[in-house]
């Protein structure tokens, strides 16, 4: 699928702290529950995965015990509902309320809770924008395995292990789908990495309050970012 391409300079992109503020502001002031935005994020991730793969390919989605993992579980559920063969890679126990709820839904839909070797598509929803470095060894081992694989690699929002330094161990995604707005650290990724911006359901008024132009999501819920 060909996505509409938009150009953003790094100077106009959000840093992670500013995005956290924007995200929390939407939750607290606009009655946008985290679960709703998790559903939006997971659907957008599923759309990108589906448009980047074939129905007969095997998909492995790596999830952690946080909201990013919850988004990955939503994507897994949606993809299975569409007929894809989806497995989960779960390095740590899922204990938080929302990810646990999404995990049960995914399993009820037919997502397989076991990891597999050599998937066709490996999705990184292990850790989100609140991750801290160095990442836990359990995640580092999975990232290293993914990087050695021949799978198409797709990351949700921020690649695990990446906070702007390409010298660190991080999930080397072929495609990154970031949420709501471009993040400035993503401009440090290899230029061969495709970056997409997905609509999270945040209203235009919030973008204005944060002095940022809303991406033109009215034409497409997923836009391809051209860095400059």
Residue 61: what pLDDT? Answer: 98
Residue 164: what pLDDT? Answer: 86
> Where in the chain does DSSP place strands (E)?
5-8, 58-63, 85-89, 121-125, 152-156, 175-179, 194-198, 222-227
Residue 56: what pLDDT? Answer: 96
Mean pLDDT, the chain, integer: 95
pLDDT digits (tens, 9 = 90+) for 9-47: 998 898 989 999 998 999 999 999 999 999 999 999 999
Residue 128: what pLDDT? Answer: 87
Residue 130: what pLDDT? Answer: 83
The answer to whether residues 99 and 66 touch, using CB atoms and an 8 Å cutoff, is: yes
Look up tokens 């945040």; give the residue: 202
SS (H, E, C) 180-192: CCCEHHHHHCCCC
Residue 165: what pLDDT? Answer: 85
Mean pLDDT throughout 82-111? 98
Residue 218 has pLDDT above 90, yes or no: no
Residue 222: what pLDDT? Answer: 97
- Which helix H or strand E contains 139, and what residues bound it? helix 137-148
Mean pLDDT throughout 123-132? 92
Measured at the CA of 184, the angle between CA 160 and CA 190, to 5 degrees, comes to 60
Supply the CATH number for residue 167's domain.
3.40.50.10260
Residue 198: name the closest of 20, 95, 91, 71 by CA: 71
User: Could you give the number of structural domains in the chain?
Assistant: 1
In angstroms, how far is CA 211 from the centroid of its own chain?
A: 24
**Euclidean distance between CA atoms 75 and 4, whole angstroms:** 22
pLDDT digits (tens, 9 = 90+) for 146-191: 999 999 999 999 999 999 888 889 999 999 999 999 999 999 999 9
Q: Biggest alpha carbon distance in the chain?
A: 46
How deeply is 102 buried, as exposed, middle or buried, from its count of CB atoms within 10 A (0-12, 13-18, 19+)? Answer: buried
Instruction: Assign 228 a pLDDT band (cuts: 50, 70, 90).
Output: confident
Residue 102 has pLDDT above 90, yes or no: yes
**Euclidean distance between CA atoms 53 and 185, whole angstroms:** 27
**Structural domain span for residue 43:** 5-227
- 50-83: burial string, b at 16+ Cβ within 10 Å, e else: bebbeeeebbbbbbbbbbbbbbbbbbbbbbbeee
**Euclidean distance between CA atoms 88 and 149, whole angstroms:** 16
Mean pLDDT throughout 65-70? 96
Residue 142: what pLDDT? Answer: 98
pTM: 0.96
Pairing of strands 121-125, 58-63: parallel
Pairing of strands 194-198, 222-227: antiparallel
- 9 or 112, which is more confident? 112
Mean pLDDT throughout 75-93? 98
């Amino acid at each position: 699928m060909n996505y509409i391409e938009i150009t953003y300079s790094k100077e106009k992109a959000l840093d992670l702290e500013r995005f956290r503020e924007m995200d929390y502001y939407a939750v607290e002031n606009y009655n946008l529950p985290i679960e709703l935005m998790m559903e939006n994020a997971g659907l957008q991730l599923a759309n990108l995965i589906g448009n980047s793969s074939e129905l007969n390919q095997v998909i492995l989605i790596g999830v952690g015990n946080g909201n990013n993992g919850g988004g990955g579980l939503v994507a897994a559920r949606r993809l299975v509902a569409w007929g894809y063969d989806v497995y989960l890679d779960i390095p740590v126990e899922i204990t938080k309320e929302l990810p646990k709820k999404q995990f049960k839904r995914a399993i009820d839909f037919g997502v397989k809770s076991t990891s597999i070797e050599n998937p066709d598509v490996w999705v990184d929803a292990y850790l989100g924008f609140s991750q801290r470095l160095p990442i836990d060894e359990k995640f580092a081992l999975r990232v290293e395995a993914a990087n050695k694989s021949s799978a198409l690699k797709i990351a949700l929002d921020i690649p695990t292990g990446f906070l702007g330094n390409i010298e660190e161990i991080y999930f080397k995604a072929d495609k990154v789908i970031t949420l709501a707005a471009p993040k400035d650290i993503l401009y440090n990724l290899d230029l061969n990495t495709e970056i997409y911006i997905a609509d999270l359901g945040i209203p235009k008024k919030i973008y204005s309050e944060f002095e940022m132009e809303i991406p033109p999501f009215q034409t497409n819920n997923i836009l391809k970012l051209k860095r400059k």
